[in-house]
Structure 1
Amino acid sequence: MPNLLFYLTFTMVTLLFVVLIFMLICWRWIMKLMVKKAGKIILSDSYQENVMELMPGLRHMGVQNMIENSLRAETGTVLDRPLGGSSKKWPNLDPITFIPAQTSPFPVDGEEDVDISVTIGPKAKKPMDIKIPLMISGMGYGVSLTEQARLSLAKAAKKTGTAINSGQGGILPEELDAAGKYILQFSKTDWAKEEHLFNRADMIEIKLGQGAIAGMGKKIAPQNLTGRARKVMGLKENEEAVIYENFYENQTLIDIKLLVEELRVRSGGVPIGVKIGAGGKIEEDIDHLILMGIDFIAIDGGQAAMHGAPPILFDDFGIPTLHAVVRAVNHLEKRKMKGKISLIVSGGLLVPGHFLKVLALGADAVYLGSAMLFALAHDQVLNALPFEPPTQAIWYDGKFKDQFKTEEGEKTAEKFLTASVEEMKMALRAIGKRSLKELSKKDLVSYDELTAKMVGIPFSFRPWEDTQLEQ
């Protein structure tokens, strides 16, 4: 028997060796034969039976639409897109560029520091001061991120002198201890309403809506939300986690105004504001918020992303972030509220150039979501790849969440924020600015004529003196 096994093993190894040698010697001939055979099938089969018939179908439908329609056909339920914003190609900030300082004015020396500190809610009793204009957006524990991910982000925010938003999930005690400036998101939930949270918060954000899901809520089944998060959120056994559409039954604007006043008292005077998704009647929305007496407005543009939202809300609601920030700033100026009510913008802002352009257009600060997630995960996504999506390393229900290292996440998130800030400072020096407060849309041009007209900045093809005469 041992001899038989030996001969079988020897024979198999020999055959494999011969096949390998054959492939090494004849690989060009084999490849040519395969291409010739496949090409003959593709080029001679009738179109109705040709596998390449898939190409015009995919071009017509789009790969993402085809996959999502197939999932609808399979499940018969509303889809939840795991991550990502709209599949549309929205108008964006890319056609806008900065005007370099070269002859008048001159650039600022590279060794000279640039002030990029920001105050949110300047009229509040306790305004929130942060060292950089980049804040970490609300991505809640349990409803999206893991404990490790939240702690990493909180520590990175503290080290870089900025604030982190709690999101609409549960709030970890150790996260409160680890964070510096903390933004409590007052969401349409039954959890995260304890009194000590209001005392700890440096700012409170009432969430009425967001770019990726409008004002809608969602339900998370017990089997999809297990472990510590259930205890932190105060959920009973087999109880769904419910994010409601409204705070009150038969809700009115007066109810929200009274809520603003209540939170201002309970928090001791920290800035109280509202988050909304950018919509077609943004000016009317802002007027309503002004009447509520808020200290800041957070506007989430149509390119915003989130963990788990129906494609129809991602793709077919809202307006582009670029349109939203321009219209919001113009309306705040019209109402003489610019500088009194802070404006925070988010939605599809991914790189330092995007951040600085939005600030030049009049935003006071920027929320970072997706960009922070990818910086946080960095090479730890390799725990999930290639057989699972990279987000499985950081989602609360991710298969590889336990392999995530908090210290590594903290380092990469901190480095991303630091690098982004240094790039923004370099850009400000190149424009001839020593402070973020000196930056305005006068420092911008656009190579797209429609964008230039819409934003109110020069079109780069036109002579400079012509654009100045019109202003």
Structure 2
Amino acid sequence: MNILYYLSFAMIATLFALSLFMLVGWRWLMKRIVKQMGNFIFTDSYQENIIEMIPGFRHMGIQNVLENSLRAEKGDVLYRPLGGSSKKWPHFDQVTFIPAQTTPFPIDGEEEIDVTVTIGPKAKKPMKIKIPLMISGMAYGIALSEQVRLSLAEAAKNVGTAINSGEGGILPEELNTAGKYILQFSKTEWSKEEDVLKRADMIEIKLGQGAIFGMGKKIPPKDLTGRARKVMGLKENENAVIGEHFFEDQTLEDLKELVEELRVLTGGVPIGVKIGAGGKIEEDIDHLIEMGVDYIAIDGGQAAMHEAPPILYDDFGIPTLHAVVRAANHLEKRNMKGQISLIVSGGLLVPGHFLKVLALGADAVYLGSAMLFTVAHNQILNAVPFEPPTQVVWNEGKFKEQFKIKDGVQAAEKFLTASTEEMKMALKAMGKRSLKELSKKDLVSYDDLTAQMIGIPFSFKPWEEN
């Protein structure tokens, strides 16, 4: 026993000594490194000093410097993932809700709040959802993996909302899993089978989106692999082509006829159009009204996608805040409010964003990036710190096979549920029992110009002066 005791003591003492040595050694090493770097920074001339990068980055911006380096390396169009514009778009932060405290009073915390929504109320078969949050079109194959698409579809069904197919292939399992399904009718050869169209609860003709507007692209076989190619009907060495038009020498009349054909084929489900928000948004809406749509989906300038050229991200379109205000005002001016539904997306990330868009006149909200990061939740730990977290969700991602569908379903479902409950709490705080009672009269802004342009009070002035 004495021998074992002394051996154990010796081992503990040795480990302690090693730990102390390593600690002292690391401290010594770090001190030498910091001292050496300090000598460089504090003594080198500015032209040779590493801190020259600070004014350089401040002048150009770190993102611009890095992207220009990639342009210099590739010599080709740069494709940036997930938006991430190098500029700051005006957003919803300067707009706040007005609480009910004296008269009216807040709603009791136990009361149920109605947040149900009907899209395309004038259609023969309107689409009814239990919450005003829908999952945006994030394409299978072109962007997301099979596992992620199935997770999102099941989560949408569980909370009683809809999921958009995006412009990729449509998985049979996804159609069987999803509750309410929005089929995006894109400028492609795939996803147009009659039996699939007839199973959709809504059809969305994609004319554009906020990250790439009306432009298409060619995806080479090396960037689109696996089962997705079969689902999309692509041959082994065939490019996946997304066009710029549906028809040769396309006209508005062609699109009007397409709307009517789809309406007849599907038996009267809502037929809508998706566009990116531009400077002529009222003219665009007039054209869509002429086409006879049941709903309009508008993507603001902060919208993201799997990848798009930075010039389209940064230098086209208008902010989502401006887009929803102008679109809602114009639909009201044309006496189409309540007849044509308005769905808005683009940079909407938290419940406050969602509810403000609804207060400004949208009927529902599309969620893209927010869903992408929440469905992955802690599964991104499979990729970080040495790979981007999106390598877990992309169809070509290095860690897509490790994605657990069940965990994805739970994370996405909980996010949608939590977001809805926060929105309900906000409605109670405003004295509302239903989402239908919400309007821009419940908003105020601490920015004078924003207040003027929206038509809401400026918070520096007494209410009666507005």
Q: TM-score range by the shorter chain?
A: over 0.9
Change (3 A) 1:184 1:462: same
Distance 1:355 1:425 in 2: 12
Written as runs of structure 1 = structure 2, the 5 A alignment for 1:10-409 is 21-22=20-21, 24-25=23-24, 31-409=30-408
Deviation at 1:240, TM superposition (A): 0.3
Give 1:290 deviation, angstroms: 0.4
Instruction: Determine if contact 1:86/1:304 at 8 Å carries over to the other structure.
Output: no
1:3 aligned residue: none
Go from structure 1 to structure 2 and tell me whether the alpha carbon gap of 1:316 and 1:229 turns closer, same or farther (over 3 Å shift): same
Kindly state the Cα deviation for residue 21 of structure 1 after the two structures are TM-superposed: 4.2
Q: TM-score, normalised by structure 1?
A: 0.94
Secondary structure in structure 1 of the residue aligned to 2:407? helix
Q: Secondary structure at the match of 2:107?
A: coil
- Give the Cα separation in 2 of the matches to 1:375 and 1:30: 40
Compared CA separation, residues 274 and 52, structure 1 to 2 (3 A):
same
1:430-468: CA deviation from partner (whole Å, max 9, x where unpaired) = 00000000000000001111111111100111111212x
| Shift, 1:33, TM fit | 4.2
TM-score normalized with structure 2 length: 0.95
Instruction: Confirm or deny: 8 A CA contact 1:85 1:212 kept in the other structure.
Output: no
Q: Does 1:457 align with 2:439?
A: no
- Is the Cα contact below 8 Å between 1:85 and 1:304 reproduced in 2? no
Report the residue type matching 1:91 in the other structure.
P
SS state at 1:204 partner: strand
- Could you give the per-residue CA deviations for residues 139-194 of structure 1, whole angstroms, max 9, x where no partner exists? 01100001110000000000000000000000000100000000010000000000
Percent of aligned pairs with the same amino acid: 77
Opposite residue 201 of structure 1, the aligned amino acid is: A
Q: 1:50: Cα distance to partner?
A: 1.1
Q: How far apart are 1:20 and its partner, in Å?
A: 6.1
Query: For this pair of structures, how many residues does the alignment match?
Result: 453
What amino acid is the match of 2:358?
A: L
Given residue 270 of structure 1, which amino acid in structure 2 is its aligned partner? V
Post-superposition Cα deviations, 1:220-270, rounded to whole Å, max 9, x if no partner, equal 101111111111000011000000011111111111111001100111100
Do the aligned residues in 2 keep the contact of 1:72 with 1:78 (CA within 8 Å)? Answer: yes
Question: 1:68-113 CA distances to partner (integer Å, 9 max, x unpaired)?
Answer: 1000000111111122342220000011110000001000000000
- Change in 2 beyond 3 A, CA 1:239/1:29: closer
| SS in structure 1 of the partner of residue 365 of structure 2 | strand
Q: CA deviation at 1:297?
A: 0.2
Instruction: Tell me which amino acid in the other structure corresponds to 2:290.
Output: L
In structure 2, the residue matched to 1:12 is: none
| Structure 2 residue aligned with 1:444 | 443
Taking the aligned partners of 1:83 and 1:32, their CA distance within structure 2 comes to 40
Aligned to 1:6: none
My pick for the range that moved more, 27-36 or 258-267, is 27-36
The 1:223/1:27 distance shift into structure 2, 3 A limit, reads closer
Q: CA separation in 1, counterparts of 2:185 and 2:26?
A: 64
- Residue type matched to 2:374 in 1? A
CA contact (8 A) 1:362 1:441 kept: yes
Question: How many Å separate the matches in 2 of 1:119 and 1:32?
Answer: 65
**Quick one: distance in 2 between partners of 1:34 and 1:231?**
55
CA distance in 1, matches of 2:193, 2:85: 35
1:418 matched to which residue of 2?
A: 417
SS at match of 1:110: coil
Matched to 2:156, the amino acid is A
1:396-429 deviation digits (Å, cap 9, x = unpaired): 0000000000000000000000000000000000
- SS of alignment partner, residue 182 of structure 1: strand
Q: CA deviation at 1:209?
A: 0.1
Any idea what SS the aligned residue of 2:118 has?
A: strand
Deviation (angstroms), 1:304 = 0.2
Measured in 2, the distance between the counterparts of 1:72 and 1:17 equals 52
Q: Give the partner amino acid of 1:269.
A: G
Alpha-carbon distance in 2 for matches of 1:301, 1:351: 16
- Distance, in Å, in 1 between the alignment partners of 2:28 and 2:387 is 36
Q: Is the 8 A contact 1:72 1:79 kept in 2?
A: yes
- What's 2:7 paired with? none
Could you tell me how far apart the structure 1 residues matched to 2:150 and 2:27 are? 54
User: Aligned equivalents of 1:88 and 1:72: distance in 2?
Assistant: 19
Could you tell me how far apart the structure 2 residues matched to 1:289 and 1:46 are?
62
Q: Which runs of 4+ in 1 moved over 4 A?
A: 15-23, 26-33
**1:19 deviation in Å?**
8.2
Q: Give secondary structure in 2 for the equivalent of 1:248.
A: coil
What CA RMSD, in Å, does the superposition of the two structures yield over aligned residues? 1.5
Q: Matched residues in 2 for 1:30 and 1:413: separation?
A: 46
Q: Where do 5+ consecutive residues of structure 1 fail to align?
A: 1-14
Give the Cα separation in 2 of the matches to 1:25 and 1:391: 39
Q: Which runs of no fewer than 5 residues in structure 2 stay unpaired?
A: 1-13
Match of 2:8 in 1: none
Closer, same or farther: CA 357–177 of 1 in aligned 2, 3 Å: same
Structure 1 window deviating more from structure 2 (15-24 vs 131-140): it is: 15-24
